[in-house]
């Protein structure tokens, strides 16, 4: 396995990095076409812009609507990239993801089901239909570290696990960001002229809201965690934390609603201070803020009767719950 040479954000010359990556993408893709999936997260957004600069409309960008994204995400991202001259096609794959996730409760199996559905089924078909020979993706060094260490199977890591994408899925994978961590990717995003709402956006995992539902994924549970996520993101957007989220627990607890016993769901709020996601500590949020979130979540998210705040650092916690 080739050791990847890290480029630290403090040492990163964004102009040089961008020029090198554009050259590299042009060389690998040649006269052909490349394809990529844009999720609206920082990593895939930066890769989209880099590749757009490198090969223009020979890059085919898809937004795979897997049904487990945040509120109104497909519309927002398509609009935003259109303004920057990048055409994004939306693929409705909601049914296929929910079907693939049905009955699975084990975290790693969930991640594997998403990987297979995404890369083999959906992307395999898109690549074949498009005639593209390369897939560009936004894997970063932290994804590789954690997968190789066996902490979490990041959905986008293959070669380091001994999987040859050419053989497994039928296409080459180009990963322009593998030498960077999140802080470096943000710098490249700013240098590429992406809007601040993208390059300063809090990280969001590839397995999307499925990484935030403990136990089996259903449409209803995703809707619950999606509504809670929108509230938590809105309430915490000004606290300058690295990342924040809502997690839906599997176990229910007894609560009271309208004077009656209500056996309902629990939402766990997490808010992290971190530089590069390798280590993280819970943000010391004011109690008034926490109370407000709890009140709003219980009022606006159907079936939720309990809200907790995670006060564990990473390690031993991880940032996501699944
Ligand atoms: P954990 O939960 O491993 O997360 O402490 C570290 C950082 O990575 C994000 N994350 C992912 N990103 N694919 C991604 O692209 C994934 O499968 C994935 N899982 C976690 C997480 O949100 C955090 O910023």
CATH number at residue 76: 3.40.50.620
Q: In sequence order, what DSSP letters do the residues of 64-126 get, joined into one string?
A: EE-S-S-TTHHHHHHHHHHHTT--EEEEE-HHHHHHHHTT---HHHHHHHHHIIIIIIIIHHH
Which atom number of ligand 1 is nearest to the Cα of residue 314?
Answer: 5
d(CA 265, CA 199): 33
260 and 140 within one domain:
no
248 lies in which domain range? 213-309
206 in a domain, yes or no?
Answer: no
Distance 255 CA to ligand 1 centre (A): 32
Domain count, the chain: 2
Distance 254 CA to ligand 1 centre (A): 32
d(CA 185, CA 92): 28
d(CA 104, CA 106): 6
Q: What pLDDT is attached to residue 168?
A: 74
Q: What pLDDT is attached to residue 14?
A: 98
Q: 175 CB less than 6 Å from ligand 1?
A: no
278 and 230 within one domain:
yes
Distance 146 CA to ligand 1 centre (A): 9
The predicted model gives 156-164 an average pLDDT of 70
Interstrand relation of 134-136 and 34-37 (parallel, antiparallel or unpaired): parallel
287 and 142 within one domain:
no
pLDDT band for position 149 (cuts 50, 70, 90): confident
Which atom number of ligand 1 is nearest to the Cα of residue 155?
Answer: 17
Q: 153 CB less than 6 Å from ligand 1?
A: no
Element (H, E) at 307: strand 304-309
Longest dimension (CA), the chain: 68
Residue from 322, 245, 244, 262 nearest 298 by CA? 262
Which pLDDT tens digit goes with each residue over 271-319? Answer: 999 998 999 999 999 999 999 999 999 999 999 999 999 999 999 999 9
Cα–Cα distances (Å) from 64 to 46, 96, 108, in that order, read 17, 11, 21
Are the beta carbons of 208 and 221 closer than 8 angstroms?
Answer: no
Instruction: Name which residue sits closest to atom 9 of ligand 1, judged by CA.
Output: 205
Which atom number of ligand 1 is nearest to the Cα of residue 138?
Answer: 15
Instruction: Name which residue sits closest to atom 11 of ligand 1, judged by CA.
Output: 205
Which pLDDT tens digit goes with each residue over 116-135? Answer: 999 888 988 888 888 898 99
205 in a domain, yes or no?
Answer: no
Distance 292 CA to ligand 1 centre (A): 27
Q: Is the peptide bond before 11 cis (omega within 30 degrees of 0)?
A: no
């Amino acid at each position: 396995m080739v050791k990847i040479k890290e480029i630290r954000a403090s040492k990163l010359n964004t102009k040089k990095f961008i020029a090198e990556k554009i050259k590299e993408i042009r060389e690998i893709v040649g006269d052909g076409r490349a394809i990529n999936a844009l999720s609206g997260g920082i990593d895939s957004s930066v890769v989209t812009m880099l590749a757009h600069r490198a090969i223009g409309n020979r890059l085919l960008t898809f937004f795979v609507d897997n049904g487990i994204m945040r509120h109104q995400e497909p519309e927002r991202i398509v609009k935003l990239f259109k303004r920057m001259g990048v055409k994004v096609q939306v693929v409705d794959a909601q049914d296929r993801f929910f079907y693939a996730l049905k009955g699975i409760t084990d975290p790693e199996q969930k991640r594997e089901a998403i990987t297979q559905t995404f890369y083999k089924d959906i992307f395999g078909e898109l690549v074949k239909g498009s005639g593209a020979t390369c897939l560009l993706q936004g894997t970063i060094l932290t994804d590789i570290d954690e997968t190789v260490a066996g902490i979490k199977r990041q959905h986008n890591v293959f070669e380091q696990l001994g999987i040859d994408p050419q053989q497994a899925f039928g296409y080459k994978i180009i990963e322009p960001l593998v030498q960077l961590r999140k802080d470096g990717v943000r710098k490249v995003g700013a240098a590429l002229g992406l809007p601040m709402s993208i390059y300063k956006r809090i990280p969001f995992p590839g397995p999307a809201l499925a990484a935030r539902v403990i136990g089996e994924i259903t449409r209803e549970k995703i809707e619950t965690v999606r509504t809670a996520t929108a509230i938590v993101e809105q309430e915490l957007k000004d606290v300058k934390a690295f990342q924040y989220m809502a997690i839906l627990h599997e176990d229910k607890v007894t609560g009271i609603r309208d004077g009656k016993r209500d056996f309902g769901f629990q939402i766990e709020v997490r808010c992290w201070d971190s530089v590069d996601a390798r280590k993280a500590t819970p943000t010391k949020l004011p109690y008034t803020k926490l109370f407000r979130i709890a009140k709003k979540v219980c009022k606006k998210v159907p079936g939720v009767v309990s809200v907790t705040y995670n006060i564990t650092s990473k390690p031993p916690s991880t940032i996501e719950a699944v």
